[in-house]
Amino acid sequence: MLQEGLDDGPDFLSEEDRGSRAVNVDLQTDATLQVDISDALSERDKVKFTVHTKSTLPNFKQNEFSVVRQHEEFIWLHDSFVENEEYAGYIIPPAPPRPDFDASREKLQKLGEGEGSMTKEEFTKMKQELEAEYLAIFKKTVAMHEVFLCRVAAHPVLRKDLNFHLSVRGKNKKEKLEDFFKNVVKSADGVLVAGVKDVDDFFEHEKTFLLEYHNRVKDASAKSDRMIRSHKNAADDINRMASSLYALGTQDATDICKFFLKVSELFEKTRKIEARVAADEDLKLADLLKYYLRESQAAKVSQSTPEGLNQNHN
């Protein structure tokens, strides 16, 4: 019941939430094409994003329009950029991560199964915390998908792409004419590569720097995950101790029982701090490092081909 309540919620993004996200994602430097996610709806294992576009470009028949998209369509758009030989050497904005609510659903399921062994206050408190965690993950998912669209819209080349226009304007049939020519282009790869000159020292230096940067960000991301896991484990352990002390404190009205209640209260405050620290680090530090990691990976891909090196050289 709890799980269904979260999966089928009408709309997690209030007007206030939308306004605060718009301030954080400030990539709309050109008023001729502005894209944002105006609404999002969670349905079971899928999230439906309402992509809202404002444009004065002649490519669009209307100045303002909206279309509903799912995560797979964002991935398709990203892959179409990567596979397009014309964009070799350009850093393609990283694809947004797949919406993942499995951990939250598992916690909710366990909470529902253990409802009989908890007091009403404990159950309500845990339910509210899990709902807040689910909501935070949902908002983060929406924000990452919006950042991807905003970066494409702000890109001087990708913003002109036909597939991008179709993604924000109408239905994706995923059957474009360039797919017909894709094999022809790839069949000539051997000839193109053979005609490329040796890479000079500048590019070798840049590739070495990029590789070292990527590895350091990857290491920092792994360490931040371990740190966050430690905070979460500490919060769970403190919660168990607080619950045990609370149970002991409610057994009688003696001084020792009152002492147990006081200590339980202290542990509960400590648990909230640990949980808040873990949540803040997860949403602000870990996600930022993971985004940098995908960004540097995209840069590595753009530098991994001779076409990419020539594009940057030009």
Place of tokens 């028949």: 61
Q: What's the confidence (pLDDT) of residue 74?
A: 93
Q: Is the pTM of this model over 0.85?
A: no
**Average pLDDT in the 249-271 region?**
90
Q: What is d(CA 104, CA 83) in angstroms, rounded to the nearest whole number? A: 35
Does domain 1-103+133-187 bear CATH number 3.30.1520.10? yes
CATH match for 196-314 among 1.20.1270.60, 1.10.240.10, 3.10.450.50, 1.10.287.80: 1.20.1270.60
Nearest to 308 by CA among 165, 210, 214: 210
Q: What's the confidence (pLDDT) of residue 108?
A: 79
Nearest to 8 by CA among 46, 50, 51, 38: 46
Q: What pLDDT, in 10s, does the model give residues 17-48?
A: 444 443 344 455 567 889 999 888 887 778 88
Q: What pLDDT, in 10s, does the model give residues 281-309?
A: 888 888 888 888 888 887 777 666 545 54
Domain boundaries, the chain: 1-103+133-187, 196-314
**Average pLDDT in the 258-264 region?**
91
Q: What's the confidence (pLDDT) of residue 200?
A: 62
Confidence check: pLDDT of 191 > 80: no
Confidence check: pLDDT of 126 > 90: no
